[in-house]
């Protein structure tokens, strides 16, 4: 039986995907939470699934390589679901970049060594990555991931310092997930050269330990906007993750698929601006602008890019607001000098 490696497999979306993939695959769960990992393996085993677990911190490249080799020795790793990640309520911006961005690079480069014809990898991003205006993402640093992974790993963590103010963790989350989307697309050619595939999936608000923690950041407010007025169930995104790495959609690669109950489809520029405006002085501080100037800038942006006439309903920040561009953009010019 072929193997599927699932990171962050002890909880949430990763565990839900393991239940689905486990029907016809050997499951190897990786997580940093030993207790949750033990409980997850017991749960899967009780359900008749061939499952093992290993404590593996995805930010540690040597451990990731070792664990991939060990998993491969037990049966070819035909697919990887890279679900491990951290959110703004869990730590500071540097931590978020290290786990979400460096972790994704480690997982992707390491699996590429083993990937063969017909294999597939899916990286879990977030709709937050789609909400980051491209201009504020540290694209030069992103590009280093393709040529110099050590330099990328150092610089992306330092990029946290380029984000001003109290919203640093929220904006870092959006940028770290924008990287996951960008990088998964860029790596499609390297996987394609081996007849393998790579893509990303961007969830909206889901009922998992992380999703519930982020209610403190307003993640529940996104359901006011969404077509489906509820959180997603872990198995609903698990089904998608299992499908995209299955053999059926064998021509699907180099893309991101949004799974958000219709949030992005309904979100207007006004809604995005309302999220920022709702933050008031915090948003101003995050933008490095006096509040009045920020509000004027947002109003102008709202007038120049009106939504289709819907009232503004959102003030959620889990999916971070479109950062006021000029200030961040100016800071990002410092990237090259870091």
Ligand X SMILES: NC(=O)c1ccc[n+]([C@@H]2O[C@H](COP(=O)([O-])OP(=O)(O)OC[C@H]3O[C@@H](n4cnc5c(N)ncnc54)[C@H](O)[C@@H]3O)[C@@H](O)[C@H]2O)c1
**Residue 23 burial (CB < 10 Å; 0-12/13-18/19+)?**
exposed
- Residue 242 touching ligand X (CB under 6 A): no
Footprint of ligand X on 190-209 (CB under 6 A): 203, 205-206, 208-209
Footprint of ligand X on 90-119 (CB under 6 A): 99, 103
- Residue 49 touching ligand X (CB under 6 A): no
- Calpha distance 113→106 (Å, rounded): 11
- Residue 324 touching ligand X (CB under 6 A): no
Bridge partners of 4? 27, 79
Stretch of 4-12, 147-155, 163-171, 283-291 contacting ligand X, by CB under 6 A = 4-12
- Residue 86 touching ligand X (CB under 6 A): yes
Q: Residues in contact with ligand X, total (CB under 6 A)?
A: 32
* Close Cβ partners of 277 (under 8 Å, ≥ 6 residues apart): 283, 295, 298
Residue (180 or 284) nearer to ligand X, CB: 180
Minimum Å gap between C-beta 103 and ligand X is: 6
Q: Please list the helix, strand and coil fractions of the chain in percent, rounded to the nearest 5, in that order.
A: 55, 10, 35
- Calpha distance 273→194 (Å, rounded): 43
Residue (154 or 331) nearer to ligand X, CB: 154
- Residue 6 touching ligand X (CB under 6 A): no
Structure tokens at 336: 């090259």
- Residue 71 touching ligand X (CB under 6 A): no
**Binding residue (CB under 6 A) for ligand X from 4, 6, 12, 284:** 12
User: Does an H or E element contain 233, and which?
Assistant: none
- Calpha distance 290→272 (Å, rounded): 20
Place of tokens 């995209």: 244
Minimum Å gap between C-beta 168 and ligand X is: 17
Minimum Å gap between C-beta 77 and ligand X is: 16
Minimum Å gap between C-beta 90 and ligand X is: 8
């Amino acid at each position: 039986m072929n193997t599927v490696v699932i990171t962050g497999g002890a909880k949430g979306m990763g565990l839900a995907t393991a239940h689905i993939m486990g029907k016809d695959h050997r499951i190897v769960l990786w997580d940093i939470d030993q207790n949750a990992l033990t409980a997850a393996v017991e749960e899967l085993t009780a359900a008749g699934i061939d499952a093992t677990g290993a404590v593996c911190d995805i930010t540690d490249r040597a451990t990731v390589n070792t664990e991939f080799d060990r998993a491969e020795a037990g049966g070819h790793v035909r697919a990887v679901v890279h679900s491990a990640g951290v959110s703004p309520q869990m730590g500071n911006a540097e931590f978020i970049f290290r786990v979400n961005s460096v972790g994704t690079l480690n997982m992707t480069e390491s699996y590429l060594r083993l990937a063969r014809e017909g294999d597939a990898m899916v990286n879990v991003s977030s709709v937050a990555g789609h909400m980051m205006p491209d201009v504020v993402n540290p694209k030069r640093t992103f590009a280093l991931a393709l040529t110099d992974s050590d330099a990328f790993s150092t610089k992306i963590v330092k990029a946290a310092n380029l984000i001003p103010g109290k919203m640093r963790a929220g904006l870092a989350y959006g940028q770290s997930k924008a990287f996951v989307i960008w990088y998964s697309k860029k790596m499609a050619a390297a996987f394609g050269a081996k007849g393998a595939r790579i893509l990303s999936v961007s969830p909206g608000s889901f009922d998992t330990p992380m999703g519930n923690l982020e209610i403190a950041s307003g993640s529940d407010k996104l359901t006011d906007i969404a077509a489906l007025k509820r959180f997603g169930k872990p198995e609903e995104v698990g089904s998608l993750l299992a499908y995209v790495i299955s053999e059926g959609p064998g021509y699907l690669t180099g893309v991101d698929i949004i799974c958000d109950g219709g949030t992005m489809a309904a979100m207007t520029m006004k809604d995005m601006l309302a999220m920022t405006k709702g933050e008031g002085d915090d948003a101003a501080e995050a933008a490095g602008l006096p509040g009045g100037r920020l509000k004027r800038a947002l109003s102008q942006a709202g007038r120049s890019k009106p939504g289709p006439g819907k009232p503004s309903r959102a003030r959620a920040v889990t999916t971070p607001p479109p950062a006021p561009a000029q200030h961040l953009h100016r800071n990002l010019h410092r990237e090259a000098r870091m």
